[in-house]
Structure 1
Amino acid sequence: MSDAIDHSIAQPEENRFWLTTSDGVGIDAVLLRRAGARTTAVVVANGFTGTYRSPHTRAIAEELLPVGDVMTFDFRGHHGSGGRSTVGNAEIHDLEAVVNRLRELGYTHIAVVGFSMGAAVAVRHAAIYGGTCAVVSVSGPSRWYYRGTRAMRLLHLGIGRTLGRAFLKRFRKVRVTDQRWNPTPAEPREVAGEISPTPLLVVHGDADGYFPVAHATAIHDAAREPKELWIIPGMGHAERAVTPELTVRLRRWIGERLPPREQPR
C-alpha cells in the first residue's frame, strides 16, 4: 500500500445519514465509501466547534480511507445536528449512535479517532461502551474544567456566559447548553484504564495552546496495555494541526491493529 493518497483514484461515494441518539437527539453524519464491500470503518470525532464540513476534517477523512470507510459527523448542538452541546458529557451518546449505525451497515471492525473534545468523548465511550477495535485520542484533555492556558480561559468564558454562547451560536453555528453538569462525568484520566484490551493511541503536540503535554501523559499513564504515546514536536492543537504525514502514521497504526485479513494492502 502506498503511504500517500493516489488522487487519480475516483472520489469516494458520500452517504448522508440522520441518526437518533439514545436520548433522542438528531445527529448529522456523512459516510465516505470506497468501491467494494469493506468491513472496516473509521469514525472521526471533531473537537468543540468542529464539523465534518471543515476542510481539515475532510482531508483527514480522505487520508484515512485506505484503511476503511470513514464516517464523520457533527456532535449535538453543532451545525446541522440537533440539541445543544454539553461540551463532552452527553456526546458519548452521539458517538454510540454513529458506531451503532456502522454496525447496522455491516462493519465488523470500527476504529475511533477523536480530536480535543472528541478525544475525551472517544476515551469515555471506549471505557463505557466498548465494542471498537482501536481508539485514537488526539489533543485530548485528561481532566475537566482546566483553565491553565489562555485559550482554555477564553473557552470557559464563552461557554459559561450568555453573551459567549450567543457568539458561538451566531458565528460558529454551535448551540451550547446553559445547564451545568449534574452529575459531573468521570474524567478521561479516571476511565482510561477501562479501555483495555482495546488498543489506545494518545497523540499530543508539544506546542498545543489548549492542553499541555501533561494531559496526554496522564491519560497514557492511567491506561493499561496495549497503549502508545506519541508526542509530536511543533504540533499545535487538534484537527487544524494534523499534517498529512501524521494522518498517514495514524492510518498505519490503525491498520496494524486489524486482523491480518482486514489489513489494507
Structure 2
Amino acid sequence: MSDNLSIQILDYYTWEIPDSEIGQGLLLKTNRGSIKTIVHQSPQLQTDKAIIWVCGANGGFEGPANGMYRTISESLKNTIRSIRMDYREPNVLSECALDILSTITFLKSLGHSQIVLVGHSFGGAVVITAAEFSDLVIGVVALSSQGYGTSTVANISPRSLLLLHGGSDTRLPSEISEKIYLYAKEPKEIKIFPGNSHGLRESSDEITLFVKNWILNILE
C-alpha cells in the first residue's frame, strides 16, 4: 500500500440498515468518503476486544458460509464488539485497506486494543494488506482468499494468521491459500475443508464454529 495514502475520520452517524439485517448502522464519515458499517454489541458493552468483518470484491455485509459474519457477531455481542464493514470503493485494494484502518481508528477511540480482521475472497487480501499497519491487530482470518495483494503476508507476523479454503473452490482454488501459507511466518494455520466451494456453504455450520473458536482463542 502506497505511503502517500491516508484517511481521517471526520465524524460518524447512525444509518438505517436494511430490514433483512440485524445490528446497528454506523456511518463513518472520512476525508475520502463515507464507510457504511453494521455494529453488533450489547447495550453498555465494555471491552477492549473487537472483530472487523469484510466481504469480497463486490462489498456488502453478508460474508460466506450462509451468513457466518452475522451469526458469529450476534453470538459474541455480549463480550466482543463486531463491525461488519462495507467498502467505499469495492475491488480497489488500497482504498479498501484504508477503510479497515479507518475502522480500526474508530475502535481505538472506544478503547479497543485487541482486534481480529476477517475477510473473504478479495477481502482476504484486504485484511492481509491492512494488518501490518496497526499494532492493535492481533489476528487475521483469510477465507477463500485471492492471491493478488497478499505478497506482504510475512509482515503480519507476530500476529496470528488463519487461512481457510474450500477444497472444491473453482473460482479461487485452495492452492492459493497453500501458497500464501508458505510465504507467511509463524504463528500461522491453514485449514482446507474438502467438498466446499468458494462460498463455504457446504460445511457452513462446521466452518462457523471453527472460525468462532479460533477467534475466541486469539482474543482470550
TM-score, L = length of structure 2: 0.79
Give runs of aligned pairs for residues 192-231 of structure 1, distance below 5 A.
Answer: 192-231=153-192
In 2 relative to 1, CA 49–240 (structure 1 residues): closer, same or farther, beyond 3 Å? farther
Corresponding residue to 1:71 among 83, 87, 110:
83
Distance between the aligned counterparts of 1:67 and 1:242, measured in 2? 26
Residues 1:243 and 2:204 aligned together? yes
- Structure 1: 5+ residue runs without aligned partners? 1-12, 77-83, 144-186
Corresponding residue to 1:253 among 201, 208, 214:
214
Distance between the aligned counterparts of 1:129 and 1:238, measured in 2? 28
CA shift, 1:104, in A, is: 1.1
Answer yes or no: is the 8 Å Cα contact 2:195–2:202 preserved in 1: no
Distance between the aligned counterparts of 2:146 and 2:76, measured in 1? 23
Quote the residue 1:161 is aligned against.
Answer: none
CA shift, 1:254, in A, is: 1.4
What are the superposed Cα offsets for residues 171-211 of structure 1, whole Å, 9 maximum, x if unpaired? xxxxxxxxxxxxxxxx30x2010000000000011111211
Give runs of aligned pairs for residues 32-47 of structure 1, distance below 5 A.
Answer: 32-35=40-43, 36-47=45-56
Give runs of aligned pairs for residues 83-162 of structure 1, distance below 5 A.
Answer: 84-143=89-148
Quote the residue 2:11 is aligned against.
Answer: none
Letter of the aligned partner of 2:39 in structure 1?
A: L
Distance between the aligned counterparts of 1:112 and 1:52, measured in 2? 14
Answer yes or no: is the 8 Å Cα contact 1:63–1:248 preserved in 2: no
Look up the SS of the partner of 1:111 in the other structure: strand
In 2 relative to 1, CA 15–106 (structure 1 residues): closer, same or farther, beyond 3 Å? farther
Residues 1:24 and 2:32 aligned together? yes
Quote the residue 2:19 is aligned against.
Answer: none
Higher RCO (CA 8 Å, separation ≥ 6 residues): 1
Distance between the aligned counterparts of 2:217 and 2:160, measured in 1? 11
Look up the SS of the partner of 2:163 in the other structure: strand
Letter of the aligned partner of 1:27 in structure 2?
A: I
Greater Cα shift, 126-135 or 99-108: 126-135
Quote the residue 1:61 is aligned against.
Answer: 73
CA shift, 1:39, in A, is: 2.0
Aligned-residue CA RMSD in angstroms? 2.3
Please identify which structure carries the higher helix content. 1
Please identify which structure carries the higher strand content. 2
Higher Cα Rg, which structure: 1
Quote the residue 1:166 is aligned against.
Answer: none
Letter of the aligned partner of 2:130 in structure 1?
A: H
Distance between the aligned counterparts of 1:139 and 1:241, measured in 2? 14
In 2 relative to 1, CA 40–251 (structure 1 residues): closer, same or farther, beyond 3 Å? same
In 2 relative to 1, CA 117–229 (structure 1 residues): closer, same or farther, beyond 3 Å? same
In 2 relative to 1, CA 222–19 (structure 1 residues): closer, same or farther, beyond 3 Å? same
CA shift, 1:242, in A, is: 6.4
CA shift, 1:129, in A, is: 3.9
In 2 relative to 1, CA 214–239 (structure 1 residues): closer, same or farther, beyond 3 Å? closer
TM-score, L = length of structure 1: 0.67
In 2 relative to 1, CA 130–20 (structure 1 residues): closer, same or farther, beyond 3 Å? farther
Distance between the aligned counterparts of 1:88 and 1:242, measured in 2? 29
